[in-house]
Amino acid sequence: MRLETNTYVRIFQKTLKSEALLIDPGAPRTFHLIQKRLQAVIGDFRRLGLIFLSYQDPGSSLNIVRLAKENPELTVVCTNDVRRLSYSLGLKALRFQPIEKLPTLRVSLSEDYTIRFLPVPFCPSRGACMLYDEESRILFSGGLFGGITFTMSLVATKQHWEGIRIWHQMYIPHIAALQRAIAIVRDLDPPPKIIAPQHGAVLTENMIPVVLDKLSELPVGVELPQATELDKIMYLDAINDVLASISQKAGKEVVDQLLSRLDQDLSFPHLFTVQDGQLIDIKDDVLGDAMGAFKMLLYALIQNQPADIQDILRAAILESNWNLPLFMQTFVSRK
């Protein structure tokens, strides 16, 4: 599993020149890749006139410091909350355009191109904001509507729902904030053809209503039931029993490969302590939600496995005598 970050560039063609808008410029580890792609698309960095920050997450904003050195004339568009926090990055010299000072929350880049800014407080942070490109009908949604991924894919399918669900349950603080954001998206006219999030795969027209409908009723953040110490012990015992059963039926290498992948993935917080082929602890201090961590682990178990191995996994659950709701929801419903 991984937490992929997406950076987008939109070219607006004007009569005598074109202007480029960079959306969520990313983190330093991706800078050289983004720089290479920008040079291929726009050539001269001076054509990059605008940067939009959807929120102040370091994974979406840190590259702005290096981009400012390439082009000191950049204008950064963001909410006041994001602007205040961005000062800690050393960006005081940059020209900021607070979204709140735009009379209609719109910017007309030419007669044909208008972009709209849609503040979505607490989705996931106070100053979060989406950007809607009316001409292309692409909604750049920032921290909303994306998720953790288990395989690399540009376009989301129904199989991406689990990663989307886990992401929103861990990082959106309250369902009221999420429902307000969903209402904003549903009221867009014209409606978006694509939703492009900061994390994970993009949503196309067939997936947008599916994801919005499911998210509108999803308990998130403070509404999630918190696991007790007994819950953690019980699930650790149950999962280790299942892993032992899988080792016997499918081979120890299947379990070793999974645990190694979990332990080595640096794109998302390490959730479990692995020792001698077993899970010995859960780092719920990272998540604040042990059940969310277990859901992620169970889903990772079944991803990228051949059909025969998936059948063995389900059989191991059913035969384990651990009739836990989380197990049944994650595995048995996938038959």
Alpha-helix runs per DSSP H in the chain: 31-42, 58-61, 64-70, 80-86, 161-171, 175-186, 208-215, 229-250, 252-264, 284-287, 290-302, 307-318, 325-330
Query: What is the pLDDT confidence band of residue 287, given thresholds at 50, 70 and 90?
Result: very low
Mean pLDDT on 40-62 = 83
More confident residue, 307 or 2: 307
Query: What is the pLDDT confidence band of residue 289, given thresholds at 50, 70 and 90?
Result: low
> According to the model, what pLDDT value does residue 269 have?
55
Mean pLDDT on 164-173 = 88
CA dihedral for 196, 202, 204, 210, sign (positive or negative): negative
> According to the model, what pLDDT value does residue 92 have?
64
Listed ranges 83-92, 156-165, 294-303; the one with the highest mean pLDDT: 156-165
Residue 228, classified by CB atoms within 10 Å of its CB into exposed (0-12), middle (13-18) or buried (19+), is exposed
C-beta of residue 215 within 8 angstroms of C-beta of residue 19: no
Nearest alpha carbon to residue 261 among 295, 292, 298, 301: 301
C-beta of residue 27 within 8 angstroms of C-beta of residue 5: yes
Q: How far apart are CA 310 and CA 267, in angstroms?
A: 25
CB atoms within 10 A of CB 115: 22
Mean pLDDT on 212-235 = 82
pLDDT score of 286 more than 60 = no
Nearest alpha carbon to residue 120 among 75, 167, 82: 82
Hey, what amino acid is at 39? Q
Looking at beta carbons, which pairs linking 97-105 to residues 24 or more positions away fall under 8 Å?
99/129
pLDDT score of 193 more than 90 = yes
Residue with tokens 């209503």: 209
Pairing of strands 75-78, 95-98: parallel
